[in-house]
Structure 1
Amino acid sequence: MPPPTLTLYIDYKSPYAYLAKDPAYRLERETGVAIDWLPYILDIPAYLGTAKVDAAGRVLEQDRNAHQWRRVKYSYMDVRREANRVGLTIRGTRKIWNSSLAGIGLLYAKRHGAFRAYNDEVFERFWKHDLDIEDPAALADVLKRAGTDAADFASFAAGEGARELKAVQDAAEAKGVFGVPSFVFPDGDLYWGREHLPNIREILAAEDLSRRT
């Protein structure tokens, strides 16, 4: 029997999803498990409020209480600590981005066999403040470098891609997904956060052993 397929939900505006990317690649490579990467667009204002800052970090607009600010500040301290450890650049964002278009780009890249290159470039450049993930032309350019012609990306994003993203989002929430990165086994077993990767690896190893006995 082949190993199970894990579903992994990500959002490009989540630094925690970025930190899970390379460990998830290693999990695929070292265990043989297939991972189906799908977008899940976080509604950050619903639980962390909103804020907009300038290049110097000064708050221009905000709708957060003191608890939410403490949580946001700790989150960035936490992700930068881990990013420094693994050699990634994560710069604090200046606003809450709408990452829906980038998620649609992920679906488009998968259709055209260009997922890995697209995924890597979007994550890396976004967190270096080098990519506007709300700009269709910028994402089409990424898709071209990833190996697609991206000629119909704009029409896909406005029609079929938007509908597919909603369907993916609805299916994720039906499974209980509420954040990213979220790993879901075929039986619906859900693990939220990259810290569960060692547990997932153990489960896969145990299942592989059971197939061989």
Structure 2
Amino acid sequence: MPGMTFWFEFASTYSYLAAMRIGPLARDAGVEVRWRPFLLGPTFRAQGWNTSPFNIYAAKGRNMWRDVERQAAGLGLPPVVRPDPFPQNGLLAARTATFGEGAAWGPGFVRAVFTAEFAEGRDISDPAGLAALLDGLGQPGHEILARAGTDQSVKDRLRLVTDDAQAQGIFGAPSFVPDDGELFWGNDRLEEALAWAAAG
């Protein structure tokens, strides 16, 4: 089966939209998706930014939030709630998703975190909240959080994956990379990326 890597960042509004719709689209296209969390902070810092460009450029930020509201409504998702602060600290969530990469519960956890963040405005840096999301998926939340938050191999894996994203030229999220290495950036390129991946 052809494959594609879905690179996402928990602070990314458009990663939220992509995460909520990629599953059925990939199944219909016959493409296996690898869900890969990474951190955009190092990429932003390399460009001289200390926060999201949607905060730096106010007009761009206003348009982004309205665009995300429209798209979420079109997908039948709950009304968008802007988390405070934005962007959220998604480090622990990213480590947990890294720990769960390839596990059956992994995509469900990612969607649950994004829903908590952008549909409910919850703090995704809160370990108790993340543990509750895992519990809701039938997983031992506190056990997984303890491992994800302290295991050096998980921390190293996320760091290496983030470095790999930069090495591949990934500069934003969501990004989609089919098996041949072609890079597609943005939620609005998801269908095109899946079609490319399916064509081999």
TM-score w.r.t. length of structure 2: 0.83
**What is the alpha-carbon root mean square deviation over aligned residues?**
2.3
* Unaligned stretches of 5+ residues in structure 2: none
Give the secondary structure class of the aligned counterpart of 1:184: strand
Give the secondary structure class of the aligned counterpart of 1:110: coil
- Once the two structures are superposed, residues 58-80 of structure 1 have per-residue CA deviations (whole angstroms, 9 ceiling, x without a partner) of xxxxxx66xx1111111101111
Aligned to 1:106: 97
Aligned to 2:26: 28
Aligned to 1:148: 139
Determine which of 146, 160, 171 is the counterpart of 1:167: 160
**Which runs of structure 2 are paired with 1:79-158 in the superposition (5 Å)?**
79-88=68-77, 89-95=79-85, 96-110=87-101, 112-129=103-120, 131-150=122-141, 151-158=143-150
Name the aligned partner's letter for residue 63 of structure 2.
Answer: Y
CA drift of 1:31 comes to 1.7
Larger CA Rg, structure 1 vs 2: 1
Deviating above 6 A after TM superposition, structure 1's stretches of 4 or more consecutive aligned residues are: none
CA drift of 1:130 comes to 5.0
Give the secondary structure class of the aligned counterpart of 2:128: helix
Count the aligned residue pairs. 190
The structure with higher relative contact order (CA 8 Å, sep 6+) is 2
Give the secondary structure class of the aligned counterpart of 1:180: coil
Name the aligned partner's letter for residue 153 of structure 1.
Answer: L
Cα 1:201–1:128, aligned 2, differ >3 Å: closer, same or farther?
closer
